[in-house]
Amino acid sequence: MEEMNENVEQNEEQDTEEVVEAESEIVEKTKELNEDLQKESNEDVEAELQRYRQIEQARIEKKEAGKQRMKKFGKVLIVVLAFAIISVCGGYGGTYLYMKSHTASNQKPEVNTQVIYQSVQRQDENGNNLGALSIKQVAELCSPSVVEITTQTVSQYWNQTYTSEGAGSGVIYTEDGYIITNNHVIKGASTIGVILNNGEYYDATVVATDAAMDLAILKIEAENLVPVVFAQEDSVKVGDVAIAIGNPLGSLGGTVTDGIISALDREITLDNEVHNLLQTNAQINPGNSGGGLFNDHGELIGIVVAKSTYTQSGTVVEGIGYAIPISDVKTTIEDLMTKGYVSGRVYLGVGLTEISDSQSARYYGVRNLGVYVTAVEENSPAKEAGLEENDYLVAIDGQQFTTISEMKQLLNEHEVGDSVEIILVRGSRTLVVHATLAEKTE
């Protein structure tokens, strides 16, 4: 299993030398003040920190204004998309790609039950259908549909408040402001911002999330946006052109990289979830999470989610990135938009931890390596079946497992309403219990 790198710090690249100098001063001063806050709780220090945060916000606004000025010097081809019934898009999850995960404010807008489907006609000035486009044409066509996402996460430590920043990418789902990104990009965030290709900034609110697919839908108050166009579900083949557009390093929004589809259905485990992903050699970097992977017709074929950096033996890996195939995310997005959750997902209702080495076993005071119950939710199938905290789970329907991902795979082979047999060890006793799986609605 490829090792996924996490928590890569954002390194802003500014539009002018003046802003670069200001940022350096802000970062150094903020670091000093945060160190002071760790040593003592001092109202003067907190006030000073707040003042520098305000300066940093002003810097961000100046960056946005600079982007708008730069747009005057170069034309970006924005194609008006005709809307009709075709398909939907989505995103998927991953452990590597950038973000300090977050979930924005607790107040969610009312879910839009009228999903807008899209189609587009690729024609030249004479009305003839276009074939494959050049990379330049795809970049001009699709860049307006890809956004930068910025986040701030507030945490408490030893009675002190700290703010960390993150960044990622997203794609525009509808012209009235629905945005798709990865759940890990926005998980836990106190505030979320979206920067359009033209430099305009909007506050964003979380509409719905699906941690299992690492997918989230955001909403901004904007109109006349340029949505992505979705490829046919079975149209992607090995060797096809793959063009990634996103916000690598959290500061290089609109970056375009190209390659091919290297493989289909790569089985990759991310955050204890097994997924079949598109593999591409288009350059993927921290901050690309949630961005688009397009074909040479300017159609979205996947949502960028992760990249491999090292093998288990420590060998450095290059040119291996992953994206959720569009066929896997369409139904997820439709469910999130219409129901707020993904229908048909089985639910057991337990918190789990995985003990994978002897050192961890000694720390937790257990003998066996494997999966242990850390919590049992009230009114859940697990509670009704009699599962308890600290139970050592061994097998489901006679099939043994030693990892959380293996256990989830076994559960996901079932449907809502199925009864499963769970073998567990509690103390010195081996027990068999039966649980009727419910539907996960959160």
pLDDT tens-place string over residues 2-43: 443 444 344 444 444 444 455 555 556 555 555 554 444 445
Determine contact, residues 206/102, Cβ cutoff 8 Å.
Answer: no
| pLDDT tier for residue 272 given thresholds of 50, 70 and 90 | low
Same domain, yes or no, for 155 and 85?
Answer: yes
Q: What is the average pLDDT across 319-342?
A: 86
Q: Report whether pLDDT(201) > 60.
A: yes
Q: Which tens digits make up the pLDDT trace of 230-241?
A: 888 778 899 999
| pLDDT tier for residue 393 given thresholds of 50, 70 and 90 | very high
Question: What tokens appear for 74 in the block?
Answer: 């170069």
Q: What is the average pLDDT across 338-352?
A: 87
The full DSSP string for 114-153 is SPPPB----B-TTSPBP-SPPHHHHHHHHGGGEEEEEEEE
Residue 91 and residue 297: Cα distance in Å, rounded? 20
Same domain, yes or no, for 248 and 325?
Answer: yes
Question: What tokens appear for 358 in the block?
Answer: 């002897």
Determine contact, residues 216/181, Cβ cutoff 8 Å.
Answer: yes
Number of neighbours of residue 179 by Cβ within 10 angstroms: 29
Q: What is the 3-state secondary structure (H, E, C) of 14-31?
A: CCCHHHHHHHHHHHHHHH
Q: Report whether pLDDT(178) > 80.
A: yes
List the beta bridge partners of residue 210. 215
- The reply to whether 335 belongs to the active site is no
Residues 6+ apart with CB under 8 A from 198: 67, 68, 71, 76, 144
Considering the chain, what is the average pLDDT of its residues? 75
Residue 304 and residue 238: Cα distance in Å, rounded? 17
Same domain, yes or no, for 359 and 303?
Answer: no
The CATH number assigned to the domain holding 250 equals 2.40.10.120
Residue 4 and residue 38: Cα distance in Å, rounded? 30
pLDDT for res 82: 25
pLDDT for res 127: 59
Same domain, yes or no, for 314 and 355?
Answer: no
Question: What tokens appear for 216 in the block?
Answer: 């989230």
Whether residue 69 is contained in a domain is answered as no
Residue 291 and residue 20: Cα distance in Å, rounded? 26
The CATH number assigned to the domain holding 414 equals 2.30.42.10
The full DSSP string for 183-217 is HHHHTT-SEEEEE-TTS-EEEEEEEEEETTTTEEE
3 state DSSP class of 110: coil
Name the domain boundary from 339, 354, 372. Answer: 339
Residues 6+ apart with CB under 8 A from 196: 144, 147, 202, 222, 225
More confident residue, 80 or 149: 149
Read off the pTM.
Answer: 0.65
pLDDT for res 139: 92
| pLDDT tier for residue 297 given thresholds of 50, 70 and 90 | confident
pLDDT for res 343: 83
Of the candidates 184, 258, 275, 308, the residue annotated as catalytic is: 184
Q: What is the average pLDDT across 378-390?
A: 92
The full DSSP string for 325-374 is EHHHHHHHHHHHHHTSS-TT-EE--EEEEEE-SHHHHHHHT-SS-EEEEE
Domain total of the chain: 2
3 state DSSP class of 257: strand
| pLDDT tier for residue 94 given thresholds of 50, 70 and 90 | very low
Q: What is the average pLDDT across 424-435?
A: 92
Same domain, yes or no, for 226 and 171?
Answer: yes
Name the domain boundary from 310, 339, 368. Answer: 339
Whether residue 219 is contained in a domain is answered as yes
Residue 248 and residue 238: Cα distance in Å, rounded? 25
Q: Report whether pLDDT(92) > 80.
A: no
Whether residue 27 is contained in a domain is answered as no
Determine contact, residues 387/424, Cβ cutoff 8 Å.
Answer: yes
Could you tell me the CA-to-CA distances from 56 to 12, 68, 264 in Å, in that order? 11, 19, 43
Same domain, yes or no, for 254 and 323?
Answer: yes
Same domain, yes or no, for 320 and 272?
Answer: yes
Q: For residue 39, give the DSSP letter.
A: H
pLDDT for res 173: 92
Same domain, yes or no, for 119 and 147?
Answer: yes
Name the domain boundary from 317, 339, 361. Answer: 339
Same domain, yes or no, for 250 and 305?
Answer: yes
| pLDDT tier for residue 418 given thresholds of 50, 70 and 90 | very high
Number of neighbours of residue 281 by Cβ within 10 angstroms: 17
Same domain, yes or no, for 179 and 195?
Answer: yes
Q: Which tens digits make up the pLDDT trace of 118-171?
A: 444 455 566 566 678 889 999 999 999 999 999 988 888 887 888 888 899 999
Whether residue 65 is contained in a domain is answered as no
Q: Report whether pLDDT(269) > 90.
A: no
Same domain, yes or no, for 236 and 142?
Answer: yes
- The reply to whether 134 belongs to the active site is no
Whether residue 94 is contained in a domain is answered as yes
**Structural domain harbouring 154:** 75-339
Whether residue 57 is contained in a domain is answered as no
Of the candidates 102, 143, 210, 214, the residue annotated as catalytic is: 214
- State the greatest distance between any 2 C-alpha atoms of the chain, in Å, as a whole number: 79
pLDDT for res 29: 56
Same domain, yes or no, for 308 and 361?
Answer: no
Of the candidates 101, 145, 262, 289, the residue annotated as catalytic is: 289
- The reply to whether 164 belongs to the active site is no
Residue 243 and residue 300: Cα distance in Å, rounded? 9
Cα of 188 vs its chain's centroid, Å: 12
